[in-house]
Amino acid sequence: MSSISNTLPARRLLSPLLSRKGRHVAGLLCASALSLAVVGGSAMAAPEPTATVTDWGKMPDGQTVQMITLHNDHGVTARILTYGATIQSVDTPDRAGKEQDIALGFPNLQDYLKYNDDAFFGAVLGRVANRIAGGSFQLEGKTYHLPTNQAPNTLHGGPVSFKDKLWTIAGVGHDANGAWVTLRLVSPDGDQGFPGELTTLATYKLNNDDDLSLNFKATTNAPTIVNLATHNYWNLNGEGSGSDEPEILQIFANRYIPTNDLSIPTGKLAPVEGTSFDFRQPHRVGERLRSPDPQMSVPRGYDKCWVIDGPYGNGHKVRLAAKLIDPRSGRVMEVLTNLPGMQFYTTNNILGNYVGPSGRTYRQTDALAFEPEFFPDSPNQPAFPSIELKPGQTYDFTTVFHFSTEK
C-alpha cells in the first residue's frame, strides 16, 4: 500500500492556494507540468490517482478531524471525513468536461456538528439504518430498548450514532488503478442500547473506471443487529444548483415496502406496477412527486425502500439498483449494491435551514438520497431478511456509485 507521502508533488504544492472553483485549473496545471517534465531525457509517466490526508478542524473534545481526498486520473475527486465516515463532496466532470461538486454537504466542521442530527449529510448510518419501531427489538429471547430520536421510533441508530463518531484511519493509499481509505470504528457493548461490541471497517475506493465504492465489514463479540448504509445527497447538476426534479430516474425493482403514518413497514412487499413508485422505466423525478397517494402525501414526497431485483448477500456481486441522468449537465450516476433494498428519498424535510459550500440554501427536492440497506424495522418484521450478526460471522456489503456522462 502506498504511503500518504507518495502523492503528486505538483498537486500538493498547488492545493493550498486554490479554491474549489480553481481545482479544475489546478488539475490542468499539474498535468501540464508533469507532461513537460523530463527525467534523464524522457517524459515522466502520466499521473496516478492520489490519496492525501489533511486536518479539517477539531471536535469539541479537542480530537482532530481529518479529510481524505481521493482523486483519479479522470478528474473525479471524493473528499471523505473521519467525522461520521462522511462523504463531504464529490467532484465529477459534466459533458463539457467541467468539474463540479455533485454531493451536498457543509463547508466546515462546525456546520456538520450543528446540523447533522437532522439531515445526516453524507454520513454512515449505524448500527442500524432506517427505523426501528417503538425503539425496541427482541434478540435471542431478550428485549432491548433504544433511545427514540424520532419518537416513538429509533432512526438511523439513535441520537448519538455512527454519524457522530470520530472514526480512525486504518489504511490509506493509491496505485495505478485507484485511491482508497479504510476507516475504523469500535462501538462498545450497550452503545445506544445495542448489544455486543461491534468493530466496523468502512473502505472508500475511487478507481479509474470512475467508481466510488464503499465496502462495509463488521464483526461482533456477541449477538447483535447490524444494518449499515450511507446517506449521501446527490444533485448531478451541481451542489447548490436548485431542484433535482428534471433528473431522470430508473430503479430496478418490481416491489417496494409500504409504510404506516409513522414510516414503519406494514410487513408487505407491494408491487410497484400502477403506483407512483414504478421506476422500472425511466421517469422524471418530479413527474409524480405530488401524487395524492397516501404513501406519497404523508412523507411529502419519496421516502420508501425498494426491493432491488436480483440476488443479494455476502459473496454476491453488486447488481444495478438505480440509474440517474441529468439532462442539463449530461452527468449520469449508477448505484450498484449487494444489499437487498434501497431507500430513495427526495429531501422532503430540508426546508431552507442549511447552507452549502456554494453559499446557497438547500430546500426540498434540491437533492436525492440513495441508501442501499436491509429493510426498515427488520428486527420486528419476521418475514424480512434478518440483520442479526453473531460472533464468527462478518457483515460484508458493498455499494458502488459509478459516474459517467452522456451527450
177 annotated to a ligand binding site: no
The residue annotated as part of the active site, out of 239, 371, 373, 402, is 371
Q: Is 334 a catalytic residue?
A: no
Q: Could you tell me if 395 and 217 are in contact, meaning their C-beta atoms sit under 8 angstroms apart?
A: yes
The residue annotated as part of the active site, out of 24, 174, 231, 402, is 231
Q: How many CA atoms lie within 13 A of 50 on its CB side?
A: 20
Residues 6+ apart with CB under 8 A from 365: 243, 244, 245, 285, 286, 289, 301, 346, 347
232 annotated to a ligand binding site: yes
303 annotated to a ligand binding site: yes
Residue 156 CA, distance from chain mean position:
13
Provide the grid cell at 340.
437487498
284 annotated to a ligand binding site: no
Ramachandran class of 240: left when φ > 0, alpha when ψ lies in -120 to 50, beta otherwise = left
Q: Is 245 a catalytic residue?
A: no
233 annotated to a ligand binding site: yes
Q: Could you tell me if 146 and 130 are in contact, meaning their C-beta atoms sit under 8 angstroms apart?
A: no
The amino acid that residue 49 corresponds to is P
For residue 73, what are the CA distances in angstroms to 49, 94, 97, 229, 348?
6, 15, 13, 28, 36
130 annotated to a ligand binding site: yes
Which residues carry a binding-site annotation? 130-131, 231-233, 303
Active-site positions read 231, 371
Which residues carry a binding-site annotation for beta-D-galactose? 130-131, 231-233, 303
